[in-house]
Amino acid sequence: MASNPVEGTENLGPIRAQSAQQRDVNVESSVNSTNAAALEAMDSEGVYLFADRHARHGSPLSPLCISPFRSLSHYICTKNGRELIDYANIMRGAVEAGPSWISGRGYFFKQLVNVEMFVAQLGFCCVYQVFMSENIADFFNKNTAIRLSTGVWMVLLLPPLLFLCSIRRLKLLAPFSLAANVVYLAAVVLVAHFFLSRPQHNRPQEELTKFGNIQNLPMFFGIVMFAFEGVSLVMPIENRMQRPQFFIAWNGVLNSSCLFVLAIFAFMGFYGYLSIGNDVMETVTLNLPREPFYECLKLMFVFCVLISYPVQFYVPMERVEKFITRKCAPEKQTRLIYAARFSMVILTCAIAELIPHLAVFISLVGSIACTSLALVFPPMIELLVCYAQNKLTFYVYLRNVVIFFFALIGFVTGTYSALSQIFQQF
């Protein structure tokens, strides 16, 4: 059904293990298109902030939690008789398989995950609008007589965003994602060349911050979580693969995408800060020289983020479409779905207008929603599933408890730090 692009997550049937070779259901994504979507899910504008935050210290743990998360979902699929399953139902299945004191709260945790995913993905979309409007405004302010605020540019970006978000199937988004990845890679290479060719001997090394202020660690934690959180897109993307075994293989889509993103972030953060120094702005694109070549690079990055928007938009709208198809008459579903899509795009624009500070917004979204999705729920799922399988060893327990409390500290301090800066700026 077009209005529900990821089927099979609602109805229980006979126990049926997921095929290890190839699916015969209505799947549509090849390995290449899945790679493109996975890279778009994790490799976005977060890379441009790592130079600004490189002097601070953080630990991108979320890729370490995604891989076991996908493996654990196989157990939930087999136990519940589902071949395709999403993040929220994995959480529900894990809770219901747990000890008696929590097994009756599966539906609550399912809805909690849905709310967190909804907030996170819409937060990503808001950040995308802030990033695009800032870079477009900077481009026109420096090169033309047009002087428009970032808020006006957000409104002008609405028509292309509404068009892209009217695309409801992941397969149709894959060519756009592939094109954006090619442009993105070319732009990153050119920016990296700028970092490496920029003379650094004119600035004493003592001017560079070797160790950042400890008060900035919570903000950096939120940005790291924002940049690496892709777990909510793992299941929708994998569910659409023709050959799911290529998703979780050691050299498959998941590992290759995470390693590629980690390498780019580390390189851009280190050499960006080394090249620009303490004058680095919230995004390194705003530090590029006022030359036609580098000004065009800004537009290339804006194009990549513009294409990433509907990929991030896919997850919250998937939940909305399922609700509409269950509750509304068939003849009204199409109109309501498009009305919901357009309303959500306009809502993200309105929220972005209220908090037009990119780094603070990213840290807030990362601390509140991304931390829960990437570092709180996956350890809970592993503990509960290992309990159900009688495989809860001391090592598994200790590892997940440490990650859980690390995430809890980051959640509290990161949220407090981001909210404090928002109140100070307003």
Do 407 and 371 contact (CB within 8 A), yes or no? yes
Identify the pLDDT of residue 53.
46
Any domain includes 28: no
- Asked if residue 24 is part of any domain, the answer here is no
Percent of the chain with pLDDT over 90: 13
Q: How far apart are CA 244 and CA 18, in angstroms?
A: 9
Question: For residue 26, is it within any domain?
Answer: no
- Could you give the CA distance from residue 58 to residue 163 in angstroms, rounded to a whole number? 37
Alpha helices in 229-291 (DSSP H): 231-239, 245-248, 253-276
Q: Is residue 16 part of a domain?
A: no
Distance in angstroms (rounded) separating the CA atoms of residues 213 and 260: 29
Q: What is residue 338's predicted lDDT score, i.e. its pLDDT? A: 94
Mean pLDDT of each 10-residue bin along the chain, 426 residues long: 36 35 45 51 49 42 49 53 68 89 92 88 86 90 87 93 87 79 82 77 56 70 70 61 63 70 75 75 77 84 87 83 88 92 93 78 82 85 89 89 88 87 75
In this prediction, residue 210 carries a pLDDT of 60
How many structural domains compose the chain? 1
Nearest to 132 by CA among 374, 300, 269, 328: 300
17 occurs within a structural domain: no
For residue 11, give the nearest of 1, 23, 20, 21 by alpha carbon: 1
Angle, CA of 323, 327 and 329, to the nearest 5°: 125
Residue 379 lies in a domain: yes
Query: Could you tell me the residue range of the domain that residue 345 belongs to?
Result: 37-425
Going by the DSSP 8-state scheme, the letter that residue 376 receives in this structure is I
Count CA atoms within 13 Å of residue 302 on its CB side.
Answer: 23
Pair of tokens at residue 143: 């090169």
**What does the DSSP assignment read for 130-154?**
HHHHHHHHHHHHHHSS----HHHHH
20 part of a folded domain: no
Predicted confidence at residue 241, as pLDDT, reads 63
Rounded CA-CA distance 118/57 in Å is: 28
Report d(CA 334, CA 356) in Å as an integer.
33
* Residue 420 counted as domain residue: yes
CATH code where residue 407 lies? 1.20.1740.10
